Chains A and B, each alone.
Chain A
Amino acid sequence: MKRVLTIIHALGLLLVMFSTAYVMPLVTSLIYGDSMMLLDFLLAMVWTAAAGVLMWLLTRRHKGELSIRHGYLLVVTMWTAMPAFATLPLLMTIPGLSFTDAYFETMSGMTTTGATALTGLDSLPPAINVWRHEMEWLGGLGIIVLAVAVLPLLGIGGRQLFRAETPGPMKDAALTPRIADTARNLWAVYAAMTLICIAALKWAGMDWLDAVCHGFSTMGLGGFSTHDTSVGYFNSPLIEFVMVVFMLVATINFASHFLAWNGKTLRVYWYDAEAKAAIGLILSSCLGIAVFLWWNGVYAEFMTALRHATFNVVSIGASSGFASVDYGQWPIFAPIWMLFVGCIAASSGSTGGGIKMMRTLVLVKQAGREFLRLLHPAVVNPMKIGGSVVPNNIVFAVLGFIFLYFITIATLIFVLLITGMDFLTSFSAVLACVNNFGPGLGMVGPASNYQGLSDFQTWVCAFGMLVGRLEIFTVLILFTPHFWRR
């Protein structure tokens, strides 16, 4: 119990900090002269801050150092409590919105999933749209800091692989020695890139509101849009191109960005085996699917096929979830392959979701090792990624992760099937939520959204997002009896 109170104390502080995030929508409503919105957001801000202060004050006697075990609990409560408070303005301003749908929406934002349960996005007040996109941006920032600075301390997350001896400029030592400094630096890199992205989108032809919103959701690899037809609304190759570039940038480990930024060198990326594999897989998929679509006559012109294939494959592959066309109508190979790429492609320490390319590399190499061991029983071949050796205990951790990942996905699919959902929808919805890319196929395809789901189904999907975002172990460990034993 004492432990829980310590967590609540820390959580109170985090909520007070979180309440400052309402400044963005407040400013937006001021700009647009929307006094109703201004009031609602002020109220939400006060409520959140007050709850935080209250939690902090009531438990101040239990202030204490957080241990590693506290870490798991804090991360999970943080990722469930913040979306809960973030629903306040949505519930206040959108009439008839249930708490379930509102929570789904904010959870989708905070986990950078980008699945939406709202329709009529074009007619939402600008402040609400800014709020939705800001959540994705904050969620992306949170996950980078979590993945790069915090999760390795807990011993999970793909980033720990980099703690093994890495050659050249990728040495972990080049990141700052203190978590707080690392987090601050990552924040600066992330913020700077977002500003560049917003400017580029404005230049490409968006208005300021759209540019800011899409800049947020692009860098967070979220996938929210201000329009029901997502990026298809703009129908502009230039905008699509800008977004493709920044989505690819966001799928690369932010530790690499930070090192490149700090050392003023692009050589860092060359040493990042994970980034090379991820970008290579995504781009070759783009080309392959473009050829496939053109061959099957979906698009008469190859260049049109290439344009749509590139945008949508990058979007799903990088786990963002924008759509420029209804790719649900493409021959089934293309969307299923996109889902597959989305499951594995994003780098660890990026804003993307899924298994992460680092773990994929470990798995592929492990398979190769097994083959070699069968052929040459005496062989000694440690696993090497980017020239550095990955210790066996990390390989086992990755194998454990993959097992849990598949069990989680299978279980959630079965749960949705029990509720009577059709197979394609439940399969794609679970993949889309656990891997945080948003739109699925069938009922939850790019042309529609998650509004048609029952309350229970919506909660299952929200849980899937949380589990997937926090790298499965972090959430599921709370359900083991050992966690609660002293």
Chain B
Amino acid sequence: MKILILGAGQVGSTVAENLVGESNDITVVDSDSEKLRQLKDRLDLRTLTGNAAHPSTLEQAGIADTDMLLAVTQSDEVNLVACKLAASLYNTPTRIARIRSADYLERKEIFSADNFCVDFSICPEQLLTDYIVKLIEFPEALQVQRFSQGKASLVAVRAFEGGPLVGNPLSFLHTHMPQTETRVAAIFRKDGPLIPEGNTVIEEGDEIFFIAATNNIRSVLSEMRRMDKPNKRIMIVGGGNIGRRLSKTLENDYQVKLIEYNKKSCEKLASELKNTLVLNGDGTDEKLMVQEHIGDVDVFCALTNDDENNIMSALLAKQGGARKVIALINRSAYVDLLQGGNIDIALSPAHITIGSLLAYVRQGDVAAVHSLRRGAAEALELVVHGDRQSSRVVGRRIEEIDLPKGATIGAIVRGGQVIMGHHDVVIEAEDHVIVFVINKAMVKRVEKLFQVSIGFF
């Protein structure tokens, strides 16, 4: 597939990195040639320096035969104009734009085919905010991803002493709580993946991925570890786009303190937020943290633009006694370095964003893609079509399906009902199948398996 990416910022370059690996022809356009040079050094793609909203630039970048346009520059306006141009001048089939401003997002008609012709808009800040909100809602989870409009969820949790399941084989889960349907999709032990079997024994420190109906999450979590008190006091460092959105979402249900370095931004934030306590100060100032009772904080989120600052303030907060610390870290090298250490959760904004983009880029009927473990693993929601003849999936029991090793069917959502992926469940057409893939390299094969053969049309 030919893909044109406008903007070589964090989102642009991460998307490029992910898509290059999936054998696509990629061109990246940006006005900063230095950024492009760095990208070109690393990846096998074409780059072009220029204004992404000018038709001449787009033409040079080869928009005429592009299959998909990803407008992810810093500017909403440039992204909108680029999508409009692509649609009206070059008939580009798929147009995706990053739109941040709530002013645009509130009026959906702006994106329609009569106006700016945006097929799909993403807002990384919003995705990230939603992600953190879920983590705060379920304090025990490392990650919560939703499928089928939130009916089913995939949850990552680290097993700890105090959970009834720890030290027992997986089959114990079913005997211990027969009413609650859940399925363990994968276990990562000391960074190596395990294929879960009925006799696999859960050990302390295992990272467990399980799928359950969303309202059962809490009871399943309690099997894996001792339950924490629900979160109440939240401290956020950094009042940028994410910090502001997060405070706004949380402020009515939690006690939120927001620390921001810039006095002017503080005033703006304070006028916008209703119940958040806005503090002016440095996020790495341990005196300020102590003054604001860091020891009583349940969740500490370091969300500034600066990776090093986030790491430092998260470490300080942990040392000061914060129960759980979350740091926003852009550089993936840092993320791998830190997760599981003193920093409880290291968030990579690019990986959270990319999931929703990937769902559009992939062929087949993919309803959702979630990138897991910093992009090493993936969870896909695939829609099944066809019948027993045209599809290799429909009408077969799960154990009959020729899934690659390391891929598991976690659950099936059928007409609003969440059915766990037991070996004897028969898949029907129009089911949403949630597949967990331990290794990203297998994604292609899984997708192929679920595609309808040509004869169907």
Whether B271 is near chain A, meaning CB under 8 Å from some CB there, is yes
- Chain B hits for A387, CB < 8 A: 274
From A379, A382, A384, A389, contact of B279 by CB (8 A): A379
- Interface segment among B105-113, B262-270, B358-366: the answer is B262-270
- Chain B hits for A380, CB < 8 A: 263, 266-267, 269-270, 278-280
The answer to whether B271 touches A378, judged by C-beta atoms less than 8 angstroms apart, is no
Give Cα A372–Cα B276 distance, bound, in whole angstroms.
12
Whether A376 is near chain B, meaning CB under 8 Å from some CB there, is yes
How near does chain B come to A420, taking the closest CB pair, in angstroms? 53
- Chain B hits for A120, CB < 8 A: none
The answer to whether B270 touches A378, judged by C-beta atoms less than 8 angstroms apart, is no
- Chain B hits for A389, CB < 8 A: 271
Whether A381 is near chain B, meaning CB under 8 Å from some CB there, is yes
- Chain A hits for B277, CB < 8 A: 372, 376, 379, 381
Q: Which residue of B lies closest to A388 (CB)?
A: B271
How near does chain A come to B381, taking the closest CB pair, in angstroms? 40
Whether A33 is near chain B, meaning CB under 8 Å from some CB there, is no
Within 8 A of A (CB), among B235-282: 259, 263, 266-267, 269-271, 274, 277-281
Known: A384-B271, A389-B271. A378 touches B263 (CB 8 A): no
From A377, A381, A388, contact of B278 by CB (8 A): A381
Among A377, A378, A381, A384: residue with most chain B CB under 10 A: A378
Within 8 A of B (CB), among A347-387: 372, 376-382, 384, 387
Give Cα A389–Cα B270 distance, bound, in whole angstroms.
9
The answer to whether B291 touches A379, judged by C-beta atoms less than 8 angstroms apart, is no
Q: Is the interface of A mostly helix, strand, loop or mixed?
A: loop
The answer to whether A378 touches B267, judged by C-beta atoms less than 8 angstroms apart, is no
The answer to whether A376 touches B279, judged by C-beta atoms less than 8 angstroms apart, is yes
Give Cα A296–Cα B435 distance, bound, in whole angstroms.
74
Among A372, A377, A379, A389: residue with most chain B CB under 10 A: A379
How near does chain B come to A384, taking the closest CB pair, in angstroms? 7
How near does chain B come to A379, taking the closest CB pair, in angstroms? 6
- Chain B hits for A384, CB < 8 A: 271
How near does chain B come to A18, taking the closest CB pair, in angstroms? 45
How near does chain B come to A385, taking the closest CB pair, in angstroms? 11
How near does chain B come to A259, taking the closest CB pair, in angstroms? 23
- Chain A hits for B306, CB < 8 A: none
Give Cα A149–Cα B253 distance, bound, in whole angstroms.
42
- Chain A hits for B278, CB < 8 A: 379-381
Whether B292 is near chain A, meaning CB under 8 Å from some CB there, is yes
Q: Which residue of B lies closest to A387 (CB)?
A: B274
Whether B45 is near chain A, meaning CB under 8 Å from some CB there, is no
Q: Which residue of A lies closest to B288 (CB)?
A: A378
How near does chain B come to A365, taking the closest CB pair, in angstroms? 13
The answer to whether B280 touches A376, judged by C-beta atoms less than 8 angstroms apart, is no
- Chain A hits for B269, CB < 8 A: 380
Give Cα A380–Cα B268 distance, bound, in whole angstroms.
10
Within 8 A of A (CB), among B261-319: 263, 266-267, 269-271, 274, 277-281, 288, 291-292
How near does chain A come to B279, taking the closest CB pair, in angstroms? 4
- Chain B hits for A379, CB < 8 A: 277-280
- Chain B hits for A378, CB < 8 A: 259, 279-281, 288, 291-292
- Chain A hits for B263, CB < 8 A: 380
How near does chain A come to B270, taking the closest CB pair, in angstroms? 5
How near does chain B come to A380, taking the closest CB pair, in angstroms? 4
The answer to whether B292 touches A376, judged by C-beta atoms less than 8 angstroms apart, is yes
Give Cα A380–Cα B291 distance, bound, in whole angstroms.
15
Give Cα A376–Cα B292 distance, bound, in whole angstroms.
7
How many residue pairs link A and B with beta carbons under 8 A? The number is: 35
The answer to whether B270 touches A382, judged by C-beta atoms less than 8 angstroms apart, is yes
Give Cα A384–Cα B272 distance, bound, in whole angstroms.
10
The answer to whether A382 touches B267, judged by C-beta atoms less than 8 angstroms apart, is yes
- Chain B hits for A382, CB < 8 A: 267, 270-271
- Chain B hits for A376, CB < 8 A: 277, 279, 291-292
Give Cα A351–Cα B85 distance, bound, in whole angstroms.
59
Within 8 A of B (CB), among A73-90: none
How near does chain B come to A22, taking the closest CB pair, in angstroms? 51
Give Cα A118–Cα B288 distance, bound, in whole angstroms.
67
Q: Which residue of B lies closest to A372 (CB)?
A: B277
Give Cα A377–Cα B259 distance, bound, in whole angstroms.
12
Give Cα A381–Cα B270 distance, bound, in whole angstroms.
6
Give Cα A378–Cα B282 distance, bound, in whole angstroms.
10
- Chain B hits for A377, CB < 8 A: 291
Give Cα A40–Cα B377 distance, bound, in whole angstroms.
99
How near does chain A come to B276, taking the closest CB pair, in angstroms? 10
How near does chain A come to B137, taking the closest CB pair, in angstroms? 26
Chain B 63-104 interface mask (CB, 8 Å, partner A; 1/0): 000000000000000000000000000000000000000000
How near does chain A come to B390, taking the closest CB pair, in angstroms? 56
How near does chain A come to B271, taking the closest CB pair, in angstroms? 4
- Chain A hits for B292, CB < 8 A: 376, 378
Among B266, B271, B278: residue with most chain A CB under 10 A: B271
How near does chain B come to A327, taking the closest CB pair, in angstroms? 40
Chain A 384-422 interface mask (CB, 8 Å, partner B; 1/0): 100111000000000000000000000000000000000
How near does chain B come to A353, taking the closest CB pair, in angstroms? 31
Give Cα A389–Cα B271 distance, bound, in whole angstroms.
6
Q: Which residue of B lies closest to A165 (CB)?
A: B271
Q: Which residue of A lies closest to B271 (CB)?
A: A389
Q: Which residue of A lies closest to B259 (CB)?
A: A378
- Chain B hits for A372, CB < 8 A: 277
How near does chain B come to A331, taking the closest CB pair, in angstroms? 40
Give Cα A431–Cα B343 distance, bound, in whole angstroms.
63
Give Cα A323–Cα B80 distance, bound, in whole angstroms.
66
Q: Which residue of A lies closest to B281 (CB)?
A: A378
How near does chain A come to B119, taking the closest CB pair, in angstroms? 34
How near does chain A come to B237, taking the closest CB pair, in angstroms? 12
How near does chain A come to B132, taking the closest CB pair, in angstroms? 23
Give Cα A378–Cα B290 distance, bound, in whole angstroms.
12
How near does chain A come to B323, taking the closest CB pair, in angstroms? 21
- Chain A hits for B274, CB < 8 A: 387
Give Cα A376–Cα B266 distance, bound, in whole angstroms.
14
How near does chain B come to A56, taking the closest CB pair, in angstroms? 49
Give Cα A372–Cα B281 distance, bound, in whole angstroms.
16
- Chain A hits for B288, CB < 8 A: 378
Q: Which residue of B lies closest to A377 (CB)?
A: B291
How near does chain B come to A394, taking the closest CB pair, in angstroms? 14
How near does chain B come to A186, taking the closest CB pair, in angstroms? 30
Q: Which residue of A lies closest to B285 (CB)?
A: A378
Q: Which residue of A lies closest to B239 (CB)?
A: A380
Give Cα A380–Cα B266 distance, bound, in whole angstroms.
6
How near does chain A come to B230, taking the closest CB pair, in angstroms? 24
How near does chain A come to B3, taking the closest CB pair, in angstroms? 43
How near does chain A come to B317, taking the closest CB pair, in angstroms? 16
How near does chain B come to A294, taking the closest CB pair, in angstroms? 38
- Chain A hits for B279, CB < 8 A: 376, 378-380
Q: Which residue of A lies closest to B257 (CB)?
A: A376
How near does chain B come to A166, taking the closest CB pair, in angstroms? 12
Q: Which residue of A lies closest to B263 (CB)?
A: A380
Give Cα A389–Cα B281 distance, bound, in whole angstroms.
21
How near does chain B come to A465, taking the closest CB pair, in angstroms? 39
Give Cα A382–Cα B288 distance, bound, in whole angstroms.
20
Within 8 A of A (CB), among B195-219: none
Give Cα A174–Cα B291 distance, bound, in whole angstroms.
45
Give Cα A435–Cα B348 distance, bound, in whole angstroms.
62
How near does chain A come to B449, taking the closest CB pair, in angstroms? 54
Give Cα A387–Cα B272 distance, bound, in whole angstroms.
8
How near does chain B come to A395, taking the closest CB pair, in angstroms? 14
How near does chain B come to A185, taking the closest CB pair, in angstroms? 30
Give Cα A382–Cα B269 distance, bound, in whole angstroms.
10
The 3 closest A-B pairs by CB, nearest first: A380-B266, A378-B279, A389-B271
Can you pick out 5 interface pairs between chain A and chain B where the beta carbons lie within 8 Å of each other?
Answer: A378-B279, A378-B291, A380-B269, A382-B270, A389-B271
- Report B's interface with A, CB cutoff 8 A: 259, 263, 266-267, 269-271, 274, 277-281, 288, 291-292
- Further contacts, 4 of them, CB under 8 A, given A376-B291, A381-B270: A376-B292, A378-B291, A379-B277, A380-B263
